[in-house]
Every structure is written in structure tokens, then in C-alpha cells.
Amino acid sequence: MRSGEKKMDSVLINENPIIYPKRPRRVRTDQSNTDEFSVDPIDQLEIFDRIRDIRDPEHPKLSLEDLNILTEESVEVDDDKSYVRITFTPTLPHCHLPTPIGLCLLAKLAQSLPARFKVDVRVAPGSHDKEKTVNKQLGDKERVAAGLENPDLVALLNKMMQV
């Protein structure tokens, strides 16, 4: 296990995060689908691939997957109902950073998924002191929209989404 990197001029809330071994990425087997007009349903892995590499706001060299904030099981998808729910686990129950992570997930999925999808993002039950507060904020699209007009927040989210 590597220890977290220490910045000289700022105090990190979680200085020594646990870094989890990455699960091997599944290689998609070549499906013998020769119908060029059919659209494959969107599945859990496809969605996870879009969000697993988002950088943690506090540790930009580490991804949400590295820190076990997201796993494949974080993603619930029902393609027929055009519905996705992401459940993420902050590294510490009292850390103040779940909201940027949640907003980044919402922004990334809004960019990546077809327009028909409804997306909910929530903190894993029991994983954070401010769970209800954070979930309610992430569920209020007007608050999310206003937040995404904040240039400082947008700059942070862009940094998190850089691969």
C-alpha cells in the first residue's frame, strides 16, 4: 500500500487514504451482432467505465476507483426504464468533499449518457454524517445547476474529469 502524498502548503482531510488494488478491466468479448441498426442496451460496466477514472478532488493522482469510492456495484442501471443510480462511498464519514464528487458524477453522466436517462446520485447509506443533506442537494437539479454555474467549482470538476 502506498501512502498518500503530502502537500507542503495545505492540510488534507484524509492524508493517508487507503488505495485499493484496481480490478482488472473486463475486455468486451466480440459479440456476433451484425445488425448495424440495433442499439445495445447500456449496461453497468459501460457506465462504470465512464466514471471509474474521475480523480478524487483531494488526491488528483488517484481515481475514485483507486480509493474504493466507486466500484462496479456502485452502478445500478435499468436500460428499459432509462434509469441509472450511482451510490458512492466517501473515504471518511466526516469528510467535506462528497458534494463535488456527486456533482462530478452527475456532470460526467449527463455528458456521456443518451438524453433519455434519468440519473440519481447518492452517498452509500451509513457512510457519511451528512448523508441526508448531501443526498438532498444532489437530488435538487436547480441547486445542482446553480452550483455548476460557479466557475471555481467548474474548474475543480474539470480537473477531476481530466484523464
Positions that interact with another protein (CB under 8 A): 115-116, 118, 136, 139-143, 145-146, 149
Nearer Cβ to another protein (73/140): 140
- Where does 25-130 have alpha helices with state H? 44-51, 98-112
Strands (E), 27-153: 75-78, 83-88, 118-123
Nearer Cβ to another protein (15/140): 140
Q: How far is the CB of 93 from another protein (least distance, A)?
A: 23
Nearer Cβ to another protein (150/158): 150
Q: How far is the CB of 96 from another protein (least distance, A)?
A: 19
Burial label for 163, CB within 10 Å (0-12, 13-18, 19+), is exposed
| Separation of alpha carbons 42 and 105, rounded Å | 17
Contact 86, 69 (CB under 8 A): no
Q: How far is the CB of 78 from another protein (least distance, A)?
A: 12
Q: Residue 157: which H helix or E strand, with range?
A: helix 151-161
- If phi over 0 gives left and psi between -120 and 50 gives alpha, with beta otherwise, what is residue 122? beta
Q: How far is the CB of 18 from another protein (least distance, A)?
A: 35
Nearer Cβ to another protein (12/148): 148
Q: How far is the CB of 72 from another protein (least distance, A)?
A: 26
| Separation of alpha carbons 139 and 82, rounded Å | 17
Nearer Cβ to another protein (62/113): 113
Residues recorded for the chain: 163
